[in-house]
Structure 1
Amino acid sequence: MNRRKFLKGSALLSGLFTLNPSDFLANSTKEIPDPGKKAKNIIFMISDGMSSGTLAMANLYSQNILGKNGNWMNLYLENKVSRALMDTASASSIVTDSAAASSSFGGGYRVKNGVLNMGANGEKYVPIWQKFKKTGKKTGCVTTVTITHATPAGFCVNSDSRNAENEIAEMYAEIGFDVMMGGGDEFFNPLKRKDKKDIYSLYKQKGYQVLKNRADLKTAEKGKKVLGVFNSGALPYSIDRTSIPELQQMPSLAEMAQTAIHQMKDHKEGFVLQIEGGKVDWAAHANDISALIHDQLAFDEAIKTVMDFAEKDQNTLVIITTDHGNANPGTIYGPDATKNFNSISDYRYTNEYILNAIHPEFNIQQMKDWIYETNKIRLADDEAKHLLSFYSGLEKQEAGLYNYKKLPFKAYSEIQKKHNSVGWISMDHSGDYVEAAFYGPGKELLPPFIKNTDLHYLMLKAAQI
């Protein structure tokens, strides 16, 4: 391609581009030809924090328990996609956080962990959804965490802190993205914001319809901008949503994806949509195997929703990937490995739900009964005592980014490991190379090894911008 013309065009489009040619593309993508067919639409799917072991175990569970291959694996088996490994490092570390990772995709530059599309000297790298919006496309994001969280924000805004979610909620309205759905009521609701601003009213003034529950998806007015905020904080884990009736008023990732596509698919200039399975990452942080597998399977159902559209449409580039690994879970060798792994099908809830229900007044027998009821695991007395010690203050409480209640996630996962043959190397992100797959017009652009920043430019190239 004509690199000079491409860079000049990108700079004019963004208005704020600070160029760094040495970081433009990692490898042979510098010389790739124009795609054979222009991608009118782009759907970018991110299973946040998905190590390769997570993908493998979700597919094993699908095969062994559900009797079928997962949708992601079927794309490989049927040779429908181009496939690559991706280096996920940030500007500040070989191990990225979600803000820097999404900024690599969104802004096309590696930035320091914790910031969104901001360079070390204050450079603002224009996010890709803003670029596509300027060309006339509709733009949207859906996620199972807060819609203002790092991954959707990295495609949409600039901020020197990923934690500025109150401000990010206002930025979205000012920029005018077409479909934004997830959790995060506390960033929009005047009763929950410290500044008492009514951000819902701001959106309504700008012509948005505000959706609050699963039923609202069915009555959304087509063609009108959508803000869907379905919970305070993140949406519930998939397995808890299935098992707890009152949580079923909140939509699944696939249902949100379906609505987002429906809202934008007939726009003459096309659309771009990010779909994030955000709680895959949170489950890995908690070493919570039932949460992890079932949210990965929920992401896999969203893949089916997207592919059903894309295969019929034939004008949509689908990108399926993750932003980084997390905790590197995997199955452990042993004579009962298959039987042990399959026992996860007996787990009725997430570890978060199970451990939240325990209180210091539990005795040993109550602890054993509760764990058997929820996981079909028979605890030994010493295991029950050990878990109870975390609630009586005798054991040091476990901390962590998504463990604000100081639940004994690690201790319980170690007990579960004896029964399910699943191990974890940590409770945090990892720097492993991850999967990336392309389907549709532009899939031929994907080389077998890429940097995360390459995806930014490959999207622009596929859309011939």
Structure 2
Amino acid sequence: MVGSLFSPVRMGAVILSFALTSCAALQSGKPVEGKVKNVVLIIGDGMGPQQVGLLLSYARQAPHGVLADRTTALDRMMGTGRMGISLTYTGDSLVTDSAASATQLATGVFARSEMLGLDVDGNVPENIVEKARRLGKMTGLVSDTRITHATPAAFAAHQTHRSQENDIAEDLLASNADVMLSGGLNYWIPEQANDPASEVHKQLKEWTGNSFRIKSARKDRKNLLAMARQKGYTLVFDKAQLQQAKGKTIGLFAGSAMADGIEETRLRQDERHVEPTLREMSAQALKILENHPQGFFLMIEAGQIDWASHRNDTGLLLHEMLRFNDTLDYVLDWAAGREDTLVIVTADHETGGFGFSYSAADIPPPARLPGAAFAGGKTFQSNFNYGSPEILDRLYAQQKSYHEIFLEFDRLPDEERTPLQLAELVNRFTRFGITEAEARRILATEANPYYREGHVSLGEKTVPKIDANDAFFVYQKENRENLLAKAVATKQHTVWATGTHTGTPVFTFVKGPESLLPPFAKILHHTELGRLLWGALQE
């Protein structure tokens, strides 16, 4: 199947298309196909058409939406850009994970799920960061997750499994990418950093301003930060340090994951915030890279769209999409008027199978309408409840993610972890309340039907009880969050199909010199999209 769809013959047709377009561009005086200096790739992790639809619905329909002009950065891209569709499956499966999908984008070859920077057989292809450096360009990786997580790692690491984050950190350092900004400090510091009396612990507390916990995830004495300084990197750990950074920079702003989208919304409202936002990291990366005479490749990941979707947390998902939108707006402002830059926006896959839906609950009463067809006292009666746009405002009003709500619940003394207390927390921090009875169902447990001893996700003997499609809710420690989503689904008019990824094709938006755009505005596979990215880098 792989060979027939993406054969050398078909690849040759793609290359021929590039060549013909390049000739036409030369004759018209437009920029030559494939001859931009800079390529900016923005990945919305988990951002399928459904997640894009949530952002667009909020922009256009929310009665009190925060996007004043009711347009999004994606609208701006489509003003003079193009849109295509890309398939995400791997070389051996229907559905991808982030490691394989990002590898396919970074290398242009088929990969296998959960492997990083390797082809489907386990060989080591060149990735786009390595190619860009070979061409004399600067390179950068930015993520709001952690720099050793699957998507950023796939652009600079080669490992047999995405879980090998200590080895991934070493690969990232060895890649010599000029800018790396994200969370994930824990994978860069030696195990003795866990000792508060150690010199390295004291030094790290000073460097980070004690703004987050120091806890090494390593089982060795390797200090990758010291190695990075020897290689000429500037190390930064907060917003103020980042804004002063020049040249090669590694910024690690959290021990593991950075703040979620709801928390970042609060950060943006306080200029004194310490942890930089995704937009601020992206802005500084561009500032560092933009003056390099040979140009650059920059990958920016809005990674927590995926996490919100895994947990079926619609309010958090909205904030993650707005964080993505805010970052893309900045990148488009930076790129405005430049003829030397290509901006591509896509997703590695869709997560969760999200959608708004109509229901049989709370059908609106008959309505008197002013139109001529309803003259004489006729009323209109809808058969179903199609949902009010006011729901969008209530989603935005969520004050804590489901994950944070359950963390707060779990910190309570044993005797206080009751269904009533869970209902109180949910009702305090969200606008879609639950009853004590609903909370009791959320907290109900059962013997794990998929138990596998020692498994990272399936290793719990007792798990939350999910009555339908339980095999698709594999992150069992977080399944209470999926059950909470189910409890409020009717009120939110939301449906979620799964707690994992789907094979839904994703959008690709592209903006830049007109001569460069047509090959992207097609139905592609991510391997083809990856090769188009390679082709866009100036030889």
Deviation at 1:431, TM superposition (A): 0.4
Deviations 1:105-136 (A, max 9, x none): 11111111111232344421111110110110
Q: What is the match of residue 265 of structure 2?
A: 242
1:29 paired with 2:14, answer yes
Which AA in structure 1 matches 2:439? Answer: A
Rg larger in structure: 2
Q: What is the match of residue 391 of structure 2?
A: 340
1:157 paired with 2:142, answer no
Structure 1 range deviating more: 382-391 or 121-130: 382-391
Which AA in structure 2 matches 1:424? Answer: W
Q: What is the match of residue 75 of structure 2?
A: 74
Q: Distance in 2 between matches of 1:89 and 1:25?
A: 18
Which AA in structure 2 matches 1:418? Answer: T
Q: What is the match of residue 233 of structure 1?
A: 256
Which AA in structure 1 matches 2:158? Answer: N
Which residue, 396, 413, 438 being the options, matches 2:463?
396
Residue 51 of structure 1 contacts residue 327 of structure 1 at CA under 8 Å; is this kept in 2? no
- Matched ranges for 1:8-27 at <5 A: 22=7
Residue 71 of structure 1 contacts residue 303 of structure 1 at CA under 8 Å; is this kept in 2? no
1:117–1:325 Cα change, 3 Å: same
Deviation at 1:336, TM superposition (A): 3.1
Structure 1 range deviating more: 68-77 or 163-172: 68-77
1:381–1:171 Cα change, 3 Å: closer
Which AA in structure 2 matches 1:349? Answer: K
Runs of 5+ in structure 2 lacking a partner?
26-30, 194-215, 359-384, 447-459
The TM-score with structure 1 as length reference comes to 0.88
Query: Secondary structure of the residue that 2:156 maps to in structure 1?
Result: coil
Q: Distance in 2 between matches of 1:374 and 1:167?
A: 39
Which AA in structure 1 matches 2:52? Answer: L
- Matched ranges for 1:237-316 at <5 A: 237-243=260-266, 248-316=273-341
1:457–1:362 Cα change, 3 Å: closer
Query: Secondary structure of the residue that 2:400 maps to in structure 1?
Result: coil
Residue 143 of structure 2 contacts residue 181 of structure 2 at CA under 8 Å; is this kept in 1? yes
Which AA in structure 2 matches 1:382? Answer: A
Deviation at 1:381, TM superposition (A): 3.1
Structure 1 range deviating more: 276-285 or 334-343: 334-343
Q: Distance in 1 between matches of 2:156 and 2:38?
A: 17
Structure 1 range deviating more: 199-208 or 35-44: 35-44
Q: Distance in 2 between matches of 1:457 and 1:160?
A: 22
Residue 254 of structure 1 contacts residue 302 of structure 1 at CA under 8 Å; is this kept in 2? yes
Aligned residues between the structures: 442
Which residue, 395, 409, 421 being the options, matches 1:358?
409
Which AA in structure 1 matches 2:499? Answer: M
Which AA in structure 2 matches 1:411? Answer: L
Q: What is the match of residue 436 of structure 2?
A: 381
1:414 paired with 2:477, answer no
Q: Distance in 2 between matches of 1:410 and 1:46?
A: 24
Q: Distance in 2 between matches of 1:404 and 1:250?
A: 30
Q: What is the match of residue 50 of structure 1?
A: 47
Q: What is the match of residue 201 of structure 2?
A: none
Deviation at 1:368, TM superposition (A): 3.2
Which AA in structure 1 matches 2:463? Answer: K
Deviation at 1:81, TM superposition (A): 1.0
Q: Distance in 1 between matches of 2:461 and 2:179?
A: 48
Which residue, 510, 523, 526 being the options, matches 1:452?
526
Which AA in structure 2 matches 1:72? Answer: A
1:248–1:402 Cα change, 3 Å: farther
Give RMSD over aligned pairs. 2.7
Q: What is the match of residue 349 of structure 1?
A: 400
Query: Secondary structure of the residue that 1:272 maps to in structure 2?
Result: strand
- Matched ranges for 1:13-162 at <5 A: 22=7, 29-34=14-19, 35=22, 36=25, 37=31, 38-63=35-60, 64=62, 65-66=65-66, 67-75=68-76, 78=79, 80-162=80-162
Q: Distance in 2 between matches of 1:113 and 1:394?
A: 26
Which AA in structure 1 matches 2:511? Answer: Y
1:274–1:76 Cα change, 3 Å: closer
Deviation at 1:422, TM superposition (A): 1.2
Q: Distance in 2 between matches of 1:362 and 1:134?
A: 57
Residue 262 of structure 2 contacts residue 401 of structure 2 at CA under 8 Å; is this kept in 1? yes
The TM-score with structure 2 as length reference comes to 0.77
Deviations 1:40-84 (A, max 9, x none): 100000000112111111222233122433433313552x21110
Which AA in structure 1 matches 2:464? Answer: Q
Which AA in structure 1 matches 2:231? Answer: K
Deviation at 1:402, TM superposition (A): 9.1
Query: Secondary structure of the residue that 2:463 maps to in structure 1?
Result: coil
1:370–1:376 Cα change, 3 Å: same
Residue 29 of structure 1 contacts residue 447 of structure 1 at CA under 8 Å; is this kept in 2? no
Q: What is the match of residue 502 of structure 2?
A: 430
Residue 287 of structure 1 contacts residue 424 of structure 1 at CA under 8 Å; is this kept in 2? yes
Q: Distance in 1 between matches of 2:175 and 2:387?
A: 55
Residue 286 of structure 1 contacts residue 427 of structure 1 at CA under 8 Å; is this kept in 2? yes
1:246–1:168 Cα change, 3 Å: farther
Runs of 5+ in structure 1 lacking a partner?
1-19
